[in-house]
Structure 1
Amino acid sequence: MNKRSNESPCDTCNSIPEGFVDVPKTLESNIDERLAFMREKTTKIGYRFVGRHSAIKVCNWTKETIRGHDTCYKKTFYNIDSNRCIQMTPVMFFCTFNCRFCWRNFNYTLPRSHEDWDDPKTVLDGIIHEQVKFLQGFFGSATVDKEKLAEAMTPRHVAISLSGEPCLYPHLPAFIDEIKSRGMTAFLVTNGTVPAMTEKLLDHQPTNMYLSLYGTTPEMYQRTAVPLIPDFWDRVMTSLAMLGKFDCNTVVRLTLTKGLNFTDPEGYARLVEQSGAKFVEVKSYMAVGGSRKSLQYTDMPLHEEIRAFAEQIAANSSYRIAKEKKISRVVLLERT
C-alpha cells in the first residue's frame, strides 16, 4: 500500500500554503498598490511570477510524484503525468468571482482597461523556466525518484487553473496554440463568465476544456461565487451551452460545499445534460488556503457523500460513473 494513502485529503490535495494573505483596508481602493502588495506577499509563500500578470506554483502532486508517492486525480482520469505538469495562471489577481470556497484569498478584481498584457510566447517560456528552476532543487534529495525527476525537466502539460479567470487574458487563444505547437497538452479551467472568449476558443481548442459550475440557480451562485459582475448567470449559461460544440474533451466541474451549493443534484443533472459536455467532475470543496477564513473542515463533503451526489446526477441524466479518487474526494461521470 502507498504510504501516503492514509493521509487526509487536505494534506496532499494541492499546493496551497497553510496561511492566506489579507489585503490591508488602506490598499483596497488603490488597485496598483494592492496588486503590488499581493505580488510581494504571494512571492514569499511560493508563487513564482512571470512578467506582469502570470504565475506558477508547483503543485503538491508534482512533488509527490517526484518523491515516488501518489499522483493527481488527473492522472487517474486523463492520464496526465503529474511530474510533468505546470500549474499556472495568466491572470494571477484578476477574476469575475470571489468564490467563498476558493483557496486563493486574493480579493480578486477585474482587469483595468489599460492593462498591459504580456505576449503568449513570453508567458510560456517564462513558466517553463520557473517550473524547471524550482524542481532542479530536488536533485539534491536522496528520496526522489530520479527517473520521474529527470522527466520533470521537460514539462509536457500546462494546467491553466492556478488562480483567477484565464478567459480575461486577451491572448488566451494564441497562448493555447503556443502550448500545443510545442507538443504539450493544455487544460483550461474557466468559470464561464467570458462567453466571447469561450466562442473564440472553438477555433483554438485546449486538450481539456473545463467549465466550473457553482450552482443551479442565480441565488446559489450569489452566495457561493460572490460575483463581481451583474449578468454572471446569463454569461455562464451562454458558455455552458457552447461546450457541446467543442471537439476536445469537455468537462463540467462541480466544486461542492456544504451550506452553499451541495444541494439539488437534479438541477445539476439538468444543466450538465444541456451542456453536452463529455465529462462531469463531482468534487468536494477542500478546506485549505484562504477558504478557511470563512469555511470549516466540516463544510467539506466526505467522499461517500460526493459519490452519492454523483449517483443522483447519474440517475437523472445520461452520465454514468466512470472513475473516482477517494483521497481527492472526486468522482468522474462520463456521458454514455
Structure 2
Amino acid sequence: MSFQNWSASSSEISDLPLYAVELWHEYRVPIILTTLCFLGILRIYIHQTTDGKSELRALPKLYQPETTPQPQDAKTVSTVKDKQETSVAEKNDTKKQTAANAPRRIKGELPRKAQGQKEEEAKASKIQVLIFYSSITGNTEKIAKDFAQTLSASLATPTGSSEAEHAFLAPRIVDLSEADYDEYFITPPKVLEDEHGERSGEAVDLFYLFLLPSYNIDTINDNLLEHMQETHHDFRIDTSPLSSILGYSVFGFGDREGWPTEDEGFCFQAKEFDRWMAKLTARKRAYPLGMGDWKREGLTRLSEWQTGLTEVLKLVEQTGGLGEGVEGSGDPLESDDEADADEDDGEVVFDGSTEPGAPKQKSSGSIEDVEDMGRIMADGSAATAPAPIAIDFTTYGKTTAKPRKTQPLAVAKEMVPKNSPTYASLTKQGYSIVGSHSGVKICRWTKSALRGRGSCYKYSFYGINSHQCMETTPSLSCSNKCVFCWRHGTNPVGTSWRWVVDPPKMIFDGVRENHYKKIKMMRGVPGVRAERFAEAMRIRHCALSLVGEPIFYPHINEFLGMLHKERISSFLVCNAQHPDELAALQHVTQLYVSIDASNRESLKRIDRPLHRDFWERFQRCLEILRERRFRQRTVFRLTLVKGFNVEDEVEGYADLVEKGLPCFVEIKGVTYCGTSTSSSAGLTMANVPFYQEVCDFVVALEKALHKRGLKYGIAAEHAHSCCILLASERFNVEGKWHTVIDYEKFFELLEAKGPDGDFTPEDYMGPATPEWATWGQGGFDPRDQRVDRKGKPIEI
C-alpha cells in the first residue's frame, strides 16, 4: 500500500466514532422500540414454554381472583402442598434477610409475654422485696424492721408446697439516706449483694415497698423526689426506667394534728412518691397508697395495708404479674391524675376579641411555624373580629386532658420551722435557732477554757482563745450525710437552696445575742475563772463549722463582711461540694475544705453525698484552692475513721495534697458521738483511731509528700484533740514554724485592700508557734490544768 492510500484510510478510521454517534442520534428511537418488543416477545415465549407455568417473578400479581378448587388426586395434592410449603419457606427467608439489612425499629411499648411463659418464669426466678424507709428520729427504722419480719412470716411457704418452690427471699431493708439512687432508681440491680458486699450469681425479680413519714422540713425525701423528677425528664434516660420491677406500693405516716386534711399536707410526701413511682415504673402500682397517723392508728392502718399487699404478692408469685382486676394495677385514674400539668399536650388557644359564648374552634392538626407565630398574633389583634388561633403542639393524637385544679403559686418555705421535729431536736441538743435556717451553739472547748481546763487545737495552732470563739452557721442544711457527723442526722439536707432567705444583718445580730446568752449561763458553773468570763463577753473569732454547709447561704459574703467589720476573725469550713459558691467567696481568715477520702468509692461511702457528680465537684474545689493558695490561708481537713479512710490511703491523700497544694493539712481522729444514726451507718468505737495511730498516719503522709517533692513538715500537735498539723515550708522561717495568725494585721490588710484585695497569707503570718505546741510536746496549754472525768487534776 502506498503512503497516500494509507493516509486516506487512517483519516476514515478516525472519523468512524463521529459517524456512529450521528447514526445513533438519527435512529435511536426505532432501535429502542425494536429492542423492547424483542425482549417482550422473548419473555412471553419463555413463560409459555416453562414447565409448571410458574408465576412471573419480575412483576408480582397485586390481585388474584378467587378460584373454585378443583378435585385432585392424592398425588397432585401432595405435590401442590410441597410446593406451597417451599414457597412459604422462601418468602420467610427473604423477609428475614430484609429485616436484617433494614434499620432497627424501636417500638414504644414493652414486649408482652404469654401467660404460660410468665407462670414458668415466675416459678423459676426468686422475688426480692425491698423495703425502703426514711427516718430522722429512728421510729420509722424500728417500724420497718418489725414490718419486714411480719411480712416475711405472711409470705411463708403455703401448706402443701415444698421449700424449694417458695419464690420469696427474705425482705431486705434499705435506708434511703444510704441508698445509691443510680443503683435503685435508674437501673434496678438484677443481682443483689449479700451481707458481705459480694454479688451472688442468682438473678432476682424486685418488688419495691416504701415506708415514708412526711416532714415539713427538707429531708432525704425531698432529695429523692427531686432525683425522681430529674430522672423522668432526662432525655438520656427512659421515662420509665423502673418498668422491669414487678411492682411497687407506698405507705405514708403523717400527723393530723399538724396537717388536719390530706389536701393541707397529711402524708403529702408519700403521695408524691406514689405519683412519681407510677411514672418511673410505667404504672406498676401493686396496691393503693396507704396512710396512717403515727400518733393514733398508724400501726393499725399499716397492718391492714400489709394484709392486702400480701395477697397481691402471692398473686405475683403464682402468675408472675399483677394480673387483672387488682386495685391500682396501673389504672391512671386510680391516683390523683398522674399526668403533670407541664405534660399536658392538649390544645393551646390564644383568645382574641371573640364574642362571649362563641363556639371554640378545634385545631386543624397543622402546625404553624414558630417564627410566624408572632406575625399571626399581631395580624389577629389588628383585625376587627378575628377568629381564635388554635395551635396544636402535638404530633399525634391523644385523649382529651382532664380539667385540673388551679394550683396556688409555690411559696418558699422555711428550712427549719419552729413547729418542726428538727427544730425540737436541735434545740434539745443545745442549738439556738436564729431565723429559719441559722444556728449557734456553745462549744465544749469554750466551757473547758472558761474553767481553765484546756483550749482546743485552734489555740495551739493559730492562737485563738477558745472562750472567745463563737461556733455558728448561716445554713443548717448540708448536701452530705457523713457517717461520722455528730449532728445526729437531724439537720436538713438539700442540693440547692430553695428556702426562705433571712437577711445577713438579722442572722449576725441573732447569733451574737444567743451566744452571749449561753456564755452568761456559765457564770454560775463552779470553776469558771472570772477574768476569762469577762474576756468571753467579747467575741474575737467565729468558726463557721457548726452544722450544715455555711457556704450554701446565698449572702455568705455579706455575713463575713459584718464579722470582719467587728474585727471578728473567720474560719470557714466547706465540704468541697459547691465549687461555684467557693469560687465566689471573698477573703476569710482561714478557708477549710473537708477531705474525708482519697478516692471516689471511699468518699461516697463515708460522706454519702447527695450530688450525683460529687467527685467532679470535689475535684473542682481542689483546683480552686490551688488557685487561691497565694491569696488565702487554705487548709485540708482530714478526719480519720478506721475501716473507712485510713488503711492504704496515704498515697491517695498525698496525690490530693499535690493537686490542691494547701497551706496546711490538719489530720484529726474522728470523735464518736454514740448515736443510733452512727451505729446504723456501721460506726462504732472500734472506728475511732488511737492517737498513736494518727501519729503513724501523719508520719507516713509526710514521707509520701517528700517523695513527690512537696515541702511539708509536721508543725504542731494537740494530743488532747487527737489532732496534728502539717504545714508548708512557706511558714517555716529560720527553722521555726509560724502557724499563728496576726489577726490585727489581717484586719488592717482587709480594710486597706478590700474583701477581694490582693494580699498573701505570709502578709499576716504571726509569731512563731509556741514551743509547747510543736511536734512531740503534746500541745496542751501550760496555763491550764488537765482533769479527769471526775474533775480531779491529772499530774503530767
TM-score (norm 1): 0.88
**Residue in 2 that maps onto 1:219:** 601
**Residue in 2 that maps onto 1:12:** none
Q: Is the 8 A contact 1:132 1:153 kept in 2?
A: yes
**1:46 positional shift:** 0.9
**1:120 positional shift:** 1.5
Question: 1:131-280 counterparts in 2 under 5 A?
Answer: 131-201=515-585, 204-246=586-628, 247-263=631-647, 264-280=649-665
Task: Verify: 1:96 aligned to 2:479, yes or no.
Answer: yes
Question: For the residues of structure 2 that align with 1:75 and 1:243, how far apart are their CA atoms?
Answer: 24
Which of 292, 307, 321 is equivalent to 2:714? 321
**1:139 positional shift:** 2.2
**1:29 positional shift:** 3.9
Which of 717, 721, 725 is equivalent to 1:332? 725
**1:327 positional shift:** 1.5
Change (3 A) 1:113 1:45: closer
**1:297 positional shift:** 1.2
Which of 513, 530, 548 is equivalent to 1:129? 513
Question: For the residues of structure 1 that align with 2:529 and 2:566, how far apart are their CA atoms?
Answer: 26
Change (3 A) 1:28 1:269: farther
Change (3 A) 1:33 1:180: closer
Task: Verify: 1:312 aligned to 2:700, yes or no.
Answer: yes
Match of 1:32, SS state, is coil
Q: Is the 8 A contact 1:160 1:189 kept in 2?
A: yes
Question: Which 10-residue stretch deviates more, 45-54 or 109-118?
Answer: 109-118
- Tell me how many residue pairs correspond in the alignment: 313
Q: Is the 8 A contact 2:550 2:574 kept in 1?
A: yes
**1:23 positional shift:** 5.5
Query: Relative contact order: is structure 1 or structure 2 higher (C-alpha 8 Å, sep ≥ 6)?
Result: 1
**Residue in 1 that maps onto 2:137:** 22
Q: Is the 8 A contact 1:105 1:289 kept in 2?
A: no
Task: Verify: 1:281 aligned to 2:666, yes or no.
Answer: yes
Change (3 A) 1:168 1:27: farther
**1:31 positional shift:** 4.0
**1:244 positional shift:** 2.8
Quick one: which amino acid aligns to residue 602 of structure 2? M
Structure 1, unpaired ranges of 5+: 1-20
Q: Is the 8 A contact 2:218 2:494 kept in 1?
A: no
Quick one: which amino acid aligns to residue 240 of structure 1? L
Q: Is the 8 A contact 1:313 1:319 kept in 2?
A: no
**1:178 positional shift:** 1.5
**Residue in 2 that maps onto 1:48:** 432
Cα deviation per residue 1:278-320 (whole Å; 9 max; x = unaligned)? 0000111111154643411111111111111111111121221
Question: For the residues of structure 1 that align with 2:515 and 2:552, how far apart are their CA atoms?
Answer: 23
Question: Which 10-residue stretch deviates more, 287-296 or 307-316?
Answer: 287-296
Change (3 A) 1:194 1:64: same
Question: For the residues of structure 2 that align with 1:301 and 1:87, how far apart are their CA atoms?
Answer: 25
Quick one: which amino acid aligns to residue 325 of structure 1? H
**1:111 positional shift:** 6.2
Question: For the residues of structure 1 that align with 2:661 and 2:496, how far apart are their CA atoms?
Answer: 34
Identity across aligned pairs (percent)?
Answer: 35
**Residue in 2 that maps onto 1:68:** 452
Cα deviation per residue 1:51-102 (whole Å; 9 max; x = unaligned)? 111111100000000011100101101111100111111122x111100111
Question: For the residues of structure 2 that align with 1:212 and 1:113, how far apart are their CA atoms?
Answer: 21
**Residue in 2 that maps onto 1:18:** none
Question: For the residues of structure 2 that align with 1:33 and 1:240, how far apart are their CA atoms?
Answer: 28
**Residue in 2 that maps onto 1:15:** none
Match of 1:55, SS state, is strand
**1:272 positional shift:** 1.1
Question: For the residues of structure 1 that align with 2:685 and 2:512, how far apart are their CA atoms?
Answer: 34
Which of 686, 689, 692 is equivalent to 1:298? 686
Quick one: which amino acid aligns to residue 96 of structure 1? S
Quick one: which amino acid aligns to residue 229 of structure 1? H
Question: For the residues of structure 2 that align with 1:103 and 1:137, how far apart are their CA atoms?
Answer: 23
Q: Is the 8 A contact 1:207 1:249 kept in 2?
A: yes
Question: For the residues of structure 2 that align with 1:68 and 1:275, how far apart are their CA atoms?
Answer: 38
Question: Which 10-residue stretch deviates more, 132-141 or 26-35?
Answer: 26-35
Question: For the residues of structure 1 that align with 2:593 and 2:721, how far apart are their CA atoms?
Answer: 19
Match of 1:248, SS state, is coil
Match of 1:282, SS state, is strand
Question: For the residues of structure 2 that align with 1:148 and 1:270, how far apart are their CA atoms?
Answer: 43
**1:30 positional shift:** 2.9
Change (3 A) 1:194 1:33: closer
Change (3 A) 1:250 1:296: same
Quick one: which amino acid aligns to residue 156 of structure 1? R
Task: Verify: 1:120 aligned to 2:504, yes or no.
Answer: yes
**Residue in 1 that maps onto 2:353:** none
Quick one: which amino acid aligns to residue 721 of structure 2? S
Cα deviation per residue 1:163-199 (whole Å; 9 max; x = unaligned)? 1111211111111121111101000000110000110
Match of 2:725, SS state, is strand
Quick one: which amino acid aligns to residue 232 of structure 1? F
Q: Is the 8 A contact 1:104 1:289 kept in 2?
A: no
**Residue in 2 that maps onto 1:13:** none
**1:155 positional shift:** 0.8
Match of 1:189, SS state, is strand
Q: Is the 8 A contact 2:674 2:684 kept in 1?
A: no
Q: Is the 8 A contact 1:85 1:155 kept in 2?
A: yes
Quick one: which amino acid aligns to residue 103 of structure 1? W
**1:113 positional shift:** 5.2
**Residue in 1 that maps onto 2:774:** none
Quick one: which amino acid aligns to residue 277 of structure 1? P
**Residue in 1 that maps onto 2:489:** 106
**Residue in 1 that maps onto 2:190:** none
**1:326 positional shift:** 0.9
**1:142 positional shift:** 4.5
Q: Is the 8 A contact 2:472 2:546 kept in 1?
A: yes
Cα deviation per residue 1:134-176 (whole Å; 9 max; x = unaligned)? 1112223442111111111111111000111112111111111
**Residue in 2 that maps onto 1:87:** 471
**1:45 positional shift:** 2.2
TM-score (norm 2): 0.38
Question: For the residues of structure 2 that align with 1:128 and 1:297, how far apart are their CA atoms?
Answer: 35
Question: For the residues of structure 1 that align with 2:444 and 2:601, how far apart are their CA atoms?
Answer: 34
Match of 2:521, SS state, is helix
